[in-house]
Chains A and B, each alone.
Chain A
Amino acid sequence: MQLLDHNAPKIGYFCGYMPIELILTAGLSPSRILGGPVKASYNNTYLPQNFCSFSRNCFSLMISGMYDFLDGVIFTNADQAMERLYDCWRKKMKTQFVYMLDVPKNRNNTAINYYRNRLEVLSQVLCRKFSGESPDLMKLRQCIRYMNEVRKEIKALYITKPQQLSFSQIHNTIKNLLEGPFKIPILNMEITSRINCNNISNNDKRIIVIGSMLENSELLQYIEERISVVKEDLCTGWRFCEIEVDLDISDPYLAVARAYLLRTPCPRMHCFSERSNYIEALIDRLFIDGIIYFASQFRVPDSYEAVMIREEICRKRGIKFLLIEREHGKAPSAAELNRVDAFLETL
């Protein structure tokens, strides 16, 4: 099946709640914006210093022209910082299509139906803008099936993770897939063969790594070389392949809305009890000694969740917890690595 033209217009998006299926249906190439190293920072002129580090990083890259290749950008209302970045993008960039997708922050039926309608509107806007046609529901189903397959294959890597395969390698593969250019098809064997083995620690202590997006896998690799990471729960990792859209639901928009909204909630959602149940279940199942939480500095949803996990779960259960507040786009600093070393020694 030919899903994408080689020269398909490229659409950037920021959030794991933005369904890639809709972008593919419109014949567009999705590219997740994850930030990265910046040569010059223009942040302080426009955004305050104590502003979400991820948004500041993306803003700097945007101003320096790193995202000029994009034909469109889709934002979601993950937090207020993202909404301000949307304002800046509209004001400063000449991207022909800039859109804000309103993703509900709870998961009841009303929210699902609302989200379904927002997705239908987005799909129509995208198709009309770039092809002048209405969305093809048959193609949407094809794209759903395709993305289900891609996620299933990566999920299989996680589940049947061979001894020599590290989470940082799987994470890197997902990150490359998300950032694009979007390659089709991706086969399990192909992914595995592209991943070179690196050191995985034989340390008998067990930890899990939680957090939002990581723009590089360096820190995760550093940790894995020192201790046994038994679970990775990152937005750009496991949480990506957790989604499975139910093809038996006759309305594909509703199916997509349900799958994206009903998966394990991320810190942006207002459902900490469900999130904490999920993390507690992981702790019970995996017999872990500690949790390392990656948060982008000043990113509000991450900061809140990190404190809640530390206070409500780790302190009560006597599990060690380390919060690494990273400045997004920067390589791990000596201080961060030192903190990781010290934490692992205390386990």
Chain B
Amino acid sequence: MSCYFGVDVGSATTSAVIIGKDGNILDSILFDTYPNHDITVEKIKGFLNDSDYKADYGVSTGYGRKNISIVKKQVSEILCQARGIYLLFPETRVVIDIGGQDNKVIRIDSNGKVLDFVMNDKCAAGTGRFIEMAGRILKLDISNFGAVGLSSGKKYKLNSSCAVFAETEIISLISKKVPIVDIVHGINVSLAEKVYSLLRRIDHKGAYCLCGGMANNDDFVRCLENLIGEEILRPKFPQLTGALGAALIAKSEARQLATVRSQCS
């Protein structure tokens, strides 16, 4: 059976996906990116070796993509996210990817082709790192930010989405004995507004799809939906879509290569 793999080495997490001929996910792995990329590579190699599905043609993406020597090609996460999301939700026209160190908004056409993209890659404002920082101060696991934020009854928001100023603001709110649920909701609102400001920089018409770890934060998604005024699509495994896109590119590259070889032989 022909299998292909995709690896997404992000600043916060690394994921790898093995897909079959039809594009179905056969196997996957998700773990925190190691500070040493060699360890990350070893872990991916281990995953590929241990998997029941043997994939020999792969593509890497993400900020650490150039360190992955076991792949045939490296592609930016813009293209990979677009491919992955388009496979899952072909009606998507705007992909919102909230990564560990940047946010991206990608506009795609009815064929899944990337038309345009905008990125916030200058600072940690509104990124996954921002939530991580807030979680550290609040002693709260980031996987609980959605449920905790949803239980807040107040319309509260942080004044700043800058990671440095927001940290000061959170500490001052804690000292004022503002309930943690309200602070968490405020953080989610502030993040949603930051992402929305990025969305406004692009012509956004059509269905929205959110990927990256923040897609698991229900409160954040609700805040963003309120701002957009539309429902946002969410994949079941939002942190795997980049790797899925990479695997899909690997599949089409491998097929092209096979066609060329058969023509030459």
Residues of B within 8 A of A342 (CB): 76-79, 114, 117
Q: In the assembly, what is the distance between CA of A338 and CA of B79, in Å? A: 11
B78 touches A346 (CB 8 A): yes
Residues of A within 8 A of B115 (CB): 346
A335 touches B119 (CB 8 A): yes
A341 sits at the interface (CB 8 A) = yes
Quote the shortest CB–CB distance from B62 to chain A (angstroms): 9
Give which listed residue, A338, A341, A346, contacts B121 with CB less than 8 A: A338
A129 sits at the interface (CB 8 A) = no
A interface: dominant SS: helix
Which A residues from 321 to 343 make CB contacts under 8 A with B? 334-335, 338-339, 341-342
Interface size on B, residues (CB 8 A): 16
Q: In the assembly, what is the distance between CA of A335 and CA of B121, in Å? A: 6
How many of chain A's residues touch chain B, expressed as a range? under 10
B237 sits at the interface (CB 8 A) = no
B163 sits at the interface (CB 8 A) = no
B114 touches A338 (CB 8 A): no
Q: In the assembly, what is the distance between CA of A341 and CA of B113, in Å? A: 15
A335 touches B102 (CB 8 A): yes
Residues of A within 8 A of B31 (CB): none
A345 sits at the interface (CB 8 A) = yes
Closest to A344 in B: B76
Give which listed residue, B63, B113, B122, contacts A338 with CB less than 8 A: B63
Q: How does the 8 Å CB contact mask read for A53-92 relative to B, with 1 for contact and 0 for none?
A: 0000000000000000000000000000000000000000
Q: How does the 8 Å CB contact mask read for B89-123 relative to A, with 1 for contact and 0 for none?
A: 00000000000011000000000011111010110
Quote the shortest CB–CB distance from A205 to chain B (angstroms): 14
Q: In the assembly, what is the distance between CA of A341 and CA of B63, in Å? A: 11
Show 17 residue pairs from A and B whose CB-CB distance is below 8 angstroms, ordered by the A residue. Answer: A335-B101, A335-B102, A335-B121, A338-B76, A338-B77, A338-B121, A339-B119, A339-B121, A341-B75, A341-B76, A342-B79, A342-B114, A345-B78, A345-B114, A346-B115, A346-B116, A346-B117
